[in-house]
Amino acid sequence: MNWHEEYRKKYKELKEKGVPFFPDVVLLDTIAACLVFALLVYLAAFHPPHLEGLADPTDTNYTPRPEWYFLFLFQALKFFPGSMEAVAAIILPGALLGVLFLVPFLDRGPERHPFDRPLWTGLGIFGLCVYAGLTWAASKSPLANPAEEKRPDVIAGKRLYAQLSCAYCHQIKNEGGRVGPALDRLSDATTDEWLSKHLRDPQAGTPGSRMPKMNLLDDEVSALTAYIRSYNPNDPFTPAAPKLFAENCSACHRIRGEGGDLAPDLSEIGAMRDKAHIQKYIQDPAQFNPDSTMPAYKGQLKDHEIEDLSRYLARQRRR
């Protein structure tokens, strides 16, 4: 006798014996409910849920995420364009609940064991797999604002920027005053050191600056610098760039005293030319100066090496 027949026999026996709903089944139900309740009380008392900081309406870097059990809906929303949001958020989940509600009316067979009802068991397992798959995909999906999310200094800087009313004089994303320069379009050559120095004491680097000295603390200076920097990614050059320059260019060009004097000194090139111009110049000087004695490096150096060199040169500036 295999397990299947055994099961049917047991089921038949039990059914014949009969267990009254009240009090037997109700008692079992009550015990189960009490156990679950006790577990909830225990969890609430000894493992309270993790709370995040107070909501801050000025913090646009916050990336809200639903609790794990709603991540599947969050993920399902991504398959629909904005105008069809209601389909993913209301109609589909509603239809699924409707099906669940109708199962007792649709699945009318006398069989009780899951294996005797392959269609409904299969549908149920399929549903669970979809749920698990969507939840997994959502947990892997990148945060909307990953760089800033992981950078508390940028967030702190943003807060200071608002508190100290920098926007009274400066623009970021075209919002703010026009007394000072826009801070999301700084020159490539602006270094973090220069920024920090300027924030500490604007008049020191820029005599007669109209920007007030704010007596900032060290960590406020670095937070503001990080915030401003987040709008001005400084393409860093690699350590290979100065070496490339020494090997290929320093026979003719000089940077801060190092190199030949057959060609212009490039120590201040970043103050006069931007990276894009420098890059084109290195690729083919003849397009700017038909009489150029400088060799064209397109094809001589790899594209990424020319890119690296251009970043290096764009940073050559005294401030």
Residues engaged in binding ligand HEC (CB under 6 A):
161, 164, 166, 168-170, 179-181, 183, 186, 190, 195, 198-199, 202, 206, 209-212, 214, 224, 228, 248-249, 251-253, 262-264, 269, 273, 278, 281-282, 285, 289, 292-295, 297, 309, 313
Whether the CB-CB separation of 174 and 124 falls below 8 Å is answered with no
Cα angle: 96, vertex 99, 104; to 5 degrees: 145
Based on CB atoms, which residue is closest to ligand HEC, 111 or 274? 274
Complex with ligand HEC: residue 121 or 234, whichever CB lies closer? 234
Residue 154 CB-density burial (10 A; 0-12 exposed, 13-18 middle, 19+ buried): buried
Residues in Cβ contact with 135 at an 8 Å cutoff, skipping those fewer than 6 apart: 68, 69, 71, 72, 75
Question: Could you tell me the CA-to-CA distances from 251 to 195, 246, 313 in Å, in that order?
Answer: 34, 8, 16
Element (H, E) at 11: helix 3-17
Smallest gap from Cβ 253 to ligand HEC, in A, equals 5
Give least dist CB 165 to ligand HEC, A: 6
| Structure tokens belonging to residue 271 | 């103050």
Which two tokens mark 112? 């009780």
Residue 245 C-beta: closest distance to ligand HEC, Å: 6
Choice between 133 and 295, CB closer to ligand HEC: 295
- Shortest Cβ distance from residue 232 to ligand HEC (Å)? 9
Whole-angstrom distance, CA of residue 219 vs CA of residue 153: 9
**Could you tell me which residues are beta bridge partners of residue 171?**
176
Residue 44 C-beta: closest distance to ligand HEC, Å: 44
135 or 170: CB nearest ligand HEC: 170
The distance of closest approach from Cβ of residue 304 to ligand HEC in the complex, given in angstroms and rounded to an integer, is 13
CB 312 → ligand HEC: shortest distance, Å?
8
Q: Write down how long the chain is.
A: 319
Q: Is the Cβ of residue 76 or residue 158 nearer to ligand HEC in the bound state?
A: 158
Q: What is the CA radius of gyration of the chain?
A: 34
